[in-house]
Structure 1
Amino acid sequence: MAETLRVRIERLPHGRDLPLPAYATEEAAGLDLLAAVPEAAPLVLEPGRRALVPTGIRIALPPGFEAQVRPRSGLAIRYGVTVLNSPGTIDPDYRGEVGVILVNHGDVSFVVTRAMRIAQLVVAPIVRVGWDEGALENEGTARGVGGFGSTGLGPPALLR
């Protein structure tokens, strides 16, 4: 089992009655984020539209860690709803509310209701880069400068 990182979390007034983000299974990599929209006023996301959905929480990541806001595959395959800036990054020095930018790529309106699981939160270590500037001719690889599909398209898509 993975090591547990303790992270301070605060429930904001509009999220006090919601459960804290949690792992759906023992081996899940991401914690489920819940929508903190008012129960009496669900958010209607029309096709082609996007919205910032509140989660009702703030977190204080320790230095050296980031949190990534990622889509839920079930929302994507069933409804065409995903996280627009995926993955969204929460820096360790950010102390505002965790928000999720959802976009509806589907054909029908999608209703975000209170406590709906709308995204996943994955916490990961940060690796800082220090640049060593110089020519790359001695850094050759089998792939070289090929990109954007140069290694092939792979097996046929399962869904079209």
Structure 2
Amino acid sequence: MPDAPSAQVPVQIKRLEHGEDLALPSYATEGAAGMDVLAAEAVTIPPGGRHAVATGFAVAIPAGYEIQVRPRSGLALKHGITLPNTPGTIDSDYRGELKVILINHGSEDFPIARGDRIAQLVLAPVTLAGWSEVAELDDTARGAGGFGSTGGHGKL
């Protein structure tokens, strides 16, 4: 991989005992936004099943950032494996083991071997909201139109 860009944000990572010989999360290509993360355990997820897969590490994310946990597109397309809460959020004050909740939407058992790539991690800045309570909101063309109100697939 080429030299790291100067915009790189340092994130502390602690390898746990069951992650000793695994590679740390890493970018597969120069243009990758997400880092591949590996399973630190072997498990089989049955159709419809969920499991919080161990990664073998914990992190200290700098204040003002989060790590988003996202599915791997190949696993989703080929096997129906995704994250039920995508994107998952790892908050900057969490210090426990990073685990990846996977769900099997496929029709067959899905075996995961220790060392398999199971998800992607994206470090992202967090913008905090400051609520400003008002009596009325401004009008828009959409107004209070909700799900499907802007058209789409057969007008839903």
Taking structure 1 as the reference length, the TM-score comes to 0.89
Q: Out of 2, 14, 21, which is 1:17 matched to?
A: 21
The answer for the alignment partner of 1:131 in structure 2 is 131
Q: How far is 1:2 from its partner? A: 7.4
Instruction: Output the CA distance in 2 between the equivalents of 1:64 and 1:73.
Output: 28
| CA shift digits 1:61-99 (9 cap, x unpaired) | 011111111111110010001012111111100000000
Instruction: Output the CA distance in 2 between the equivalents of 1:149 and 1:106.
Output: 27
The answer for the alignment partner of 1:74 in structure 2 is 74
The answer for the alignment partner of 2:36 in structure 1 is 32
Letter in 2 for 1:147: G
Instruction: Output the CA distance in 1 between the equivalents of 2:87 and 2:111.
Output: 22
Q: How far is 1:136 from its partner? A: 3.1
The answer for the alignment partner of 1:107 in structure 2 is 107
Instruction: Output the CA distance in 2 between the equivalents of 1:131 and 1:140.
Output: 19
The answer for the alignment partner of 1:150 in structure 2 is 149
Q: How far is 1:116 from its partner? A: 0.7
Unpaired runs of 5+ residues, structure 1, are: 156-160
Instruction: Output the CA distance in 2 between the equivalents of 1:20 and 1:52.
Output: 18
Q: How far is 1:133 from its partner? A: 0.5
Letter in 2 for 1:105: H
Instruction: Output the CA distance in 2 between the equivalents of 1:142 and 1:27.
Output: 38
The answer for the alignment partner of 1:6 in structure 2 is 10
Distance 1:78 1:2, change over 3 A: farther
Q: How far is 1:154 from its partner? A: 5.4
Unpaired runs of 5+ residues, structure 2, are: none
1:84 aligns with 2:88: no
Q: How far is 1:142 from its partner? A: 2.0
Q: How far is 1:135 from its partner? A: 2.7
Task: Report sequence identity in percent.
Answer: 56
The answer for the alignment partner of 1:158 in structure 2 is none
Distance 1:2 1:46, change over 3 A: farther
Letter in 1 for 2:121: L
Measured on the aligned residues, the alpha-carbon RMSD in Å equals: 1.5
Letter in 1 for 2:119: A
Task: Tell me which stretches of 4 or more aligned residues in structure 1 moved more than 2 Å.
Answer: none
Taking structure 2 as the reference length, the TM-score comes to 0.91
Distance 1:133 1:122, change over 3 A: same
Distance 1:136 1:11, change over 3 A: same
Give the number of aligned pairs.
150
Instruction: Output the CA distance in 2 between the equivalents of 1:85 and 1:100.
Output: 10
